[in-house]
Chains A and B, each alone.
Chain A
Amino acid sequence: MKRFTFLGLFLSALLSVTIYISQAPYANAVAEDTVAILANVQQGDAEISRIGRMSFAPGGVLLVADIGSASIVAIETGDIGPVKKLKERVNDVDKKIAAALGTDKEGINIADMTVNPASGKIYVSVQRKADGLNAIILFDENGKLAPLNLKKARFVRVPLPVADQKTIRNISGVEFSKDRVLAAGQSNEEFSSKIYSLPLPLTHGKAGEVYSTETYHVAHGRWETRAPIQSFIPYQEEGEDYIVGSFACTPIAKFKISDIKQNEHIKGTSVVELGSGNRPMDMFTYEKNGKKWLITNTDRFHHERRPLGPSQYWGVRVDMAYLQADEINAEAARRVVTEKSGPNGIEVVDALFFAKHVAKLNNDEMVILRDNKGALDLEISKLPE
């Protein structure tokens, strides 16, 4: 009897851990070893109280920021490929999602869009305004939409540290790195931002090993302030792991992950200034012709006052060589705001005009949720050579 009990426990433990094995670069992280991503996996209602940003970890694990409960929910989607990317543009995505949720497009808020690079399926997180209902809607290769069943999900929920749960009320990003999950949170009282490092495996209900640290950055080499990160990606340079973050006032800065320690401040190295009046949205990196590029798109809220192009939504690519600045960079490279490109290696990307959300499919293509005269279209677009 004891043997059966032990065997049962062993099998349960085996089943409740999500493991991935990868030999190839994945998104922005390289995973070379077998890594358990999830442990103590739950089955049932994921009970997301206010949905936000999303991204994919390997093995079809969707990382979801649950702003309402100040936690990260990792969902086993079972969506592991093969790649079947969207065949043609889907028009009126907002209207279709709204109708699928039983309302009109004014009745929803699209929180984020991401793509599973393993399958090409596109995931949109959305909230129904009238009652705060949360949903994740999938688009397949034919543009057909379906809900991700959050009521019968396999998931783990990792709360942010207890001390922060009351005040961290906006999670501006969640990303998988090679041995951890990173999240950025913003306080609803102090003007501050924290980076959380969640070690693998993400274990349901376990928040004890979460480390957090505050971020600061230096403006114009003179003024040091706390500042919230709007979006970020993990990044490796000479064997060292970094976070590259985009701040509300649009400098791009990097932080060394090894500096992340409980209750410590870390200062970012400002590497690029994109110009004022922009709110960063998404970020990713890609490699092309032996060069590494960083893509970020922004909402230019001063578009009417000083338009940069045809839309308030625009994006830029930055040669990642700019990220190699190694100290607090008093003279961070500044994009030439009056030109489409410059200095060398900083270029406005035409395909990102009107892009409200963008996500990387592979090194050749990105998925764009594009504003089309007030409607939203979903399409795949080529990345610049």
Chain B
Amino acid sequence: MGNRHSNSIISVTMALMIFIFTNGCSDPTPNVGAVSPPVQSSSSDAPPTIDDSDSSLPVSTIILPPDTDASLENNGLLVFGVRDGESNELTPILGTYHRHEDTLSFTPDFPVLPNTDYEAVNLLTEKATSYRWNKTSATTPTLAIHPQHKVLPANHLKFYLYFSEPMQQDTPWEHCKLLDLTTDQYVPRPFRHTELWNETGDRLTLWFHPGRQKTGVNLNVEIGPILTPEHDYELHISGNWSSLKGGSLSQDVTLRFRAGPADHDQPDPEAWNIHLPTADTSDPLVFQFNEPLDHAMLRTNPIRLSRLPDKSPSGSSLLVNFQVTSNNQSIRITPDVKWTAGEYELQINPRLEDLAGNSIERPFEVDLTQTNKTPSRPQSLLVTIPPKNGE
């Protein structure tokens, strides 16, 4: 995480408002008690430059008079902290003191933040200095929400929020709302309170609360599912959501959809339409699904194609390119070299899900009272690419 800070050099754009106690500077006696609120005066100095990549850099230094009581603790001489807006107390931030001859320096344990007011108080002189460095050049992040189908099943499970840069990650659901346009009411607490970001922090998986989407689970029984079939909805993502660089989305992002019937059926590869290329071409081999599949999983190694007979011990996949169509309803496979006639095996990730969490391997929920408890679908398909006409 420290790397996020390491390359940025924060220029101090504003510094040094000198505060003086009403009965302050004339009395050099160190004040080792609680720091009282200082009186603000208006003076400023030229802004210094601080490189926050160097956490060893002292950010506050005072000169100790020769007669400084040697028994005084460092934190009784210099305090560096944040002043609470309500109580006006100055709470010290964590850091390390270093005393050398007549100089006392304070280095924070953590990089100081831009756009935050800090204050250093020399308890010997009762002078306070305020610091604030404003960060500039924050970009405005953008957001794309998937899936973007006009109709989603009433037991739809999740959205993927793709940001253009890493975002502030905590409690992301607080930035999200679901408006039932049919009733003009916001749906109460529709989202699962679990933070599921990708490793780069720029994609969030936003789940509807599964307890309401799963048949037979207590919330579903007691207050029903989140979506009502035939109702129109709008997902709202707050424009106040900020990136780690500090820029906010600046305006709300919305996604409109209608709830259709619930989907309890698994994706069925045997029902997929297959468009075969011919040998000696690089035309695409197209698998058209019988329903839209999960946006992210389709883009994370959903299938593997092998030429048969495959004599390698673990099976070897062909070098091909996969392209998922924007409606998440088909995948196009083009070879690195032209197709040769013969039999191919398409192995499908058994976890590949539809929009309601039903996978090739098993439905999202299995009714144990039914005889066919785990109706796994075929996890591979055989296709034969025909030779060129006349061969």
A interface size (C-beta, 8 A)? 68
- Given A189-B300, A249-B217, residue A47 in contact with residue B110 (CB < 8 A): no
Residues of B near A324 (CB, < 8 A) are: none
Residues of B near A225 (CB, < 8 A) are: 214, 217, 364-366
Q: Is the CB of B171 within 8 A of A189?
A: no
Partner of B197, one of A133, A135, A169, A279: A169
| Dominant SS among interface residues on chain B | loop
Q: Which B residue's beta carbon lies closest to that of A250? A: B218
- Given A96-B91, A103-B116, A224-B366, residue A188 in contact with residue B217 (CB < 8 A): no
Q: Which B residue's beta carbon lies closest to that of A277? A: B219
Max count, chain B CB within 10 A of own CB: residue among A103, A149, A273: A103
Partner of B168, one of A130, A275, A276: A130
Q: Which B residue's beta carbon lies closest to that of A51? A: B1
A87 within 8 A of B: no
A131, B114: Cα distance in complex, Å:
10
Q: Is the CB of B244 within 8 A of A132?
A: yes
Max count, chain A CB within 10 A of own CB: residue among B157, B296, B297, B366: B366
A384, B170: Cα distance in complex, Å:
34
- Given A132-B1, A224-B366, residue A99 in contact with residue B297 (CB < 8 A): no
Residues of B near A301 (CB, < 8 A) are: 189, 193
Contact with B along A45-84 (1 / 0, CB 8 A): 1011110000000000000000111100000000000000
B267 within 8 A of A: no
Q: Is the CB of B189 within 8 A of A219?
A: no
- Given A222-B367, A249-B214, A249-B218, residue A132 in contact with residue B199 (CB < 8 A): no
Q: Is the CB of B205 within 8 A of A189?
A: yes
Q: Which B residue's beta carbon lies closest to that of A68? A: B199
A309 within 8 A of B: no
Q: Is the CB of B116 within 8 A of A48?
A: no
A187, B196: Cα distance in complex, Å:
8
Partner of A102, one of B82, B194, B207: B82
Residues of B near A228 (CB, < 8 A) are: 194
Q: Is the CB of B1 within 8 A of A134?
A: yes
Q: Is the CB of A223 within 8 A of B366?
A: yes
Q: Which B residue's beta carbon lies closest to that of A130? A: B113
A68, B202: Cα distance in complex, Å:
12
- Given A129-B168, A147-B94, A189-B294, residue A103 in contact with residue B113 (CB < 8 A): yes
Residues of A near B203 (CB, < 8 A) are: 188
Q: Which B residue's beta carbon lies closest to that of A191? A: B357
Q: Is the CB of A102 within 8 A of B110?
A: yes
Q: Which A residue's beta carbon lies closest to that of B158? A: A191
Which B167-200 residues sit within 8 Å CB-CB of chain A?
168-171, 188-189, 192-199
B284 within 8 A of A: no
Q: Is the CB of A223 within 8 A of B353?
A: no
A29, B310: Cα distance in complex, Å:
49
Partner of A68, one of B112, B116, B188, B201: B201
Residues of A near B30 (CB, < 8 A) are: none
Partner of A276, one of B91, B171, B218: B218
A212, B67: Cα distance in complex, Å:
65
B150 within 8 A of A: no
Partner of B369, one of A70, A131, A222, A248: A222
Residues of A near B373 (CB, < 8 A) are: 224
A21 within 8 A of B: no
A166 within 8 A of B: yes
Residues of A near B85 (CB, < 8 A) are: 104
Residues of B near A70 (CB, < 8 A) are: 199
Task: For the complex formed, measure the closest distance between the CB of A250 and the CB atoms of chain B, giving whole angstroms.
Answer: 7
Residues of A near B221 (CB, < 8 A) are: 276
Q: Is the CB of A131 within 8 A of B5?
A: yes
Q: Is the CB of A170 within 8 A of B81?
A: no
Q: Is the CB of B210 within 8 A of A191?
A: yes
Chain B residues within CB distance 8 Å of chain A: 1-2, 4-5, 55, 81-82, 84-85, 91-94, 108-113, 115-116, 118, 157-158, 166, 168-171, 188-189, 192-199, 201, 203, 205, 207, 210-211, 214-219, 221-223, 242, 244, 246, 294, 296-297, 300, 351, 353, 357, 359, 364-369, 373
Known: A68-B199, A107-B113, A219-B214. 9 other contacts (CB 8 A): A102-B113, A128-B110, A130-B168, A169-B199, A189-B300, A220-B216, A221-B368, A223-B365, A224-B366
6 A-B pairs with CB atoms under 8 Å apart are A102-B93, A102-B113, A109-B171, A132-B244, A133-B5, A189-B296
Chain A residues within CB distance 8 Å of chain B: 45, 47-50, 67-70, 95-96, 98-104, 107, 109, 127-135, 145-147, 149, 151, 165-167, 169-170, 186-191, 218-228, 248-250, 273, 275-277, 279, 299, 301-302, 305
